[in-house]
Structure 1
Amino acid sequence: MYSDILLATGGEAASDRATDHAIQLAAHHDATLHVLYVVDSDVYDAYSGDEYVDEREGPEHGLEEVGEEVVEAVADRARDAGVAVETALRHGRPPETIVEFARETDVDLVVMGTRRRPDEYRSLLGSVTDRVLRLAEMPVTVVKTPVEG
């Protein structure tokens, strides 16, 4: 049913269960797992970076390092489970970049994590997962992380 599955991850706690789910699905369907981390251009574009002389020291570089660590950690877990995996790091606005990557890669399914947030938070900042659900033509599985406490 699935030959290519995309896990879009930011490495946060909400992605942990989604990662497990995506790896299990890929293993069950003998699918390739594509792991994508998007370096949010809005974050580093909004930062003046006046104190940085070398552009490699700015927030963009830090976000790239985090992204590389996140996709490699997921890739290691997938390989340990016997799943074929490909990793990618892209720059842009996360929702649009995730959907664009899914189209380019011709994935059969996108897997994303989410966790409950206050309504005020969502109305002010929105949700990457919510936006991907609205933009994507392909199926999107949302794996919820329960609220602790």
Structure 2
Amino acid sequence: MVPTEHAGEPVRSILVATDGSDAADAALERALGLGADIDATVYVLAVVDTTDDPLRFDSGLVADLEDAKNELVEDVLEAVDRRQADVVGAVRRGRPASTIVDYASEIGADLIVVGRTGQSRTATALLGSTADRVVRTASIPVIVVPDPSTDTN
């Protein structure tokens, strides 16, 4: 294993991506718990994905999607207000995986936490997933938290 340039450095900032799914909620719980344990700032990011078919998105729909993501982040921030972790929220537009990695770089995150839905191996092999793409492209450690509703047995 080749050491990374960040090996051995303390984790001071954690980026967690959320989309409101069960897997994202599990990742958020993991990130918040870790942030509280090690006194790290937790950045909560929601991405407005308009990259699938840009022609089908008019400006009104994009604004509605962005409003929904802003509401999601605000709800998260209100819910975690009582916790011991310092939490910051953001909403960005773009392709989810690259936006997550870019935002991690922008804020100088030391760790990324993402949820992984229970996709089949075939779907993941053919299409990839946001979590898989983040793991492959991030230059910092990534924790992938499985969807708690997915039975792995």
Are positions 1:87 and 2:96 aligned together?
no
Task: Provide the C-alpha distance between the structure 2 equivalents of 1:118 and 1:61, rounded to a whole number of angstroms.
Answer: 32
Task: Provide the C-alpha distance between the structure 1 equivalents of 2:97 and 2:132, rounded to a whole number of angstroms.
Answer: 9
What's the CA shift for 1:46?
Answer: 3.7
Task: Specify every segment of 5 or more residues in structure 1 that has no aligned partner in the other structure, as ranges.
Answer: 50-54
Task: Specify every segment of 5 or more residues in structure 2 that has no aligned partner in the other structure, as ranges.
Answer: 1-9
Task: Provide the C-alpha distance between the structure 1 equivalents of 2:55 and 2:127, rounded to a whole number of angstroms.
Answer: 15
The one-letter amino acid paired with 1:94 is: P
Are positions 1:141 and 2:143 aligned together?
yes
The one-letter amino acid paired with 2:27 is: A
Question: Aligned match of 1:28 in 5, 21, 37?
Answer: 37
- For residues 8-57 of structure 1, give each alpha carbon's deviation from its aligned partner in whole angstroms, at most 9, with x where no partner exists: 111112111111111101111111110111111214614054xxxxx33x
What's the CA shift for 1:102?
Answer: 0.3
Residue 103 of structure 1: SS of its match in structure 2?
A: helix
Task: Provide the C-alpha distance between the structure 2 equivalents of 1:148 and 1:29, rounded to a whole number of angstroms.
Answer: 30
The one-letter amino acid paired with 2:69 is: G
Runs of 4 or more, structure 1, over 3 Å off, are none
Are positions 1:9 and 2:11 aligned together?
no
**Match of 2:130?**
128
Matched-pair contact (CA < 8 Å) for 1:112–1:129: yes
The TM-score, its normalising length taken from structure 1, stands at: 0.86
The one-letter amino acid paired with 1:21 is: R
Are positions 1:42 and 2:51 aligned together?
yes
Task: Provide the C-alpha distance between the structure 1 equivalents of 2:49 and 2:81, rounded to a whole number of angstroms.
Answer: 27
Higher helix share: 1
- For residues 78-117 of structure 1, give each alpha carbon's deviation from its aligned partner in whole angstroms, at most 9, with x where no partner exists: 3211221111111111111110110111011100111221
What's the CA shift for 1:62?
Answer: 2.2
Task: Provide the C-alpha distance between the structure 2 equivalents of 1:12 and 1:94, rounded to a whole number of angstroms.
Answer: 14
What's the CA shift for 1:63?
Answer: 1.4
Are positions 1:19 and 2:31 aligned together?
no
Residue 79 of structure 1: SS of its match in structure 2?
A: coil
The one-letter amino acid paired with 1:96 is: S
Q: 1:127 to 1:2 in 2, by over 3 A?
A: same
The TM-score, its normalising length taken from structure 2, stands at: 0.84
Matched-pair contact (CA < 8 Å) for 1:30–1:83: yes
